[in-house]
């Protein structure tokens, strides 16, 4: 079993419901009693595409799936919830990003772990910190050292 962290995001078709449904689906690939989810946060979309705000969270769980099999399972969940990949950083029913796979560094054509943008994204760092404030990233950076007041001010808890 390996500890993994997955970012969840949605801004279409009742985003909170989308994240709730994704959590139910993630439970099916998580080792029993290992699943945890951060609070949900609202965040402003990245990029120049006009779209609604996102609802984001981070889930942590243990799994015995290999990295590519986990990626396939995550993309299957996205597809089952109506994810269409038409526009980079565009609106979506569900986005599931594998952030961390234990302490492994993975660089494959379809998968880069740790997730390439996680250190710059408040909607990833703050919920990840909520789950595991003492986490040390694979590059030996303490997660707590990345959390700033400015970063936390970018988010609002979702209702």
Positions annotated as catalytic residues are 83, 92, 95, 97
Do residues 25 and 77 touch, judged by C-beta distance below 8 A? yes
């Amino acid at each position: 079993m390996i500890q993994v962290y997955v970012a969840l995001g949605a801004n279409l078709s009742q985003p909170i419901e989308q994240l709730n449904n994704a959590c139910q689906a993630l439970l099916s690939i998580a080792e029993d009693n290992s699943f945890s989810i951060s609070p949900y946060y609202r965040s402003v979309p990245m990029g120049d595409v006009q779209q609604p705000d996102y609802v984001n969270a981070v889930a942590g769980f243990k799994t015995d799936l290999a990295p590519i099999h986990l990626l396939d399972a995550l993309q299957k969940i996205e597809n089952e919830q109506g994810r269409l990949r038409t526009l980079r950083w565009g609106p979506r029913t569900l986005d599931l990003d594998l952030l961390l796979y234990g302490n492994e560094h993975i660089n494959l054509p379809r998968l880069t772990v740790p997730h390439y943008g996680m250190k710059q994204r408040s909607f990833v760092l703050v919920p990840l910190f909520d789950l595991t404030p003492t986490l040390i990233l694979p590059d030996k950076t303490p997660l707590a050292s990345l959390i700033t007041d400015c970063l936390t001010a970018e988010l609002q808890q979702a209702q």
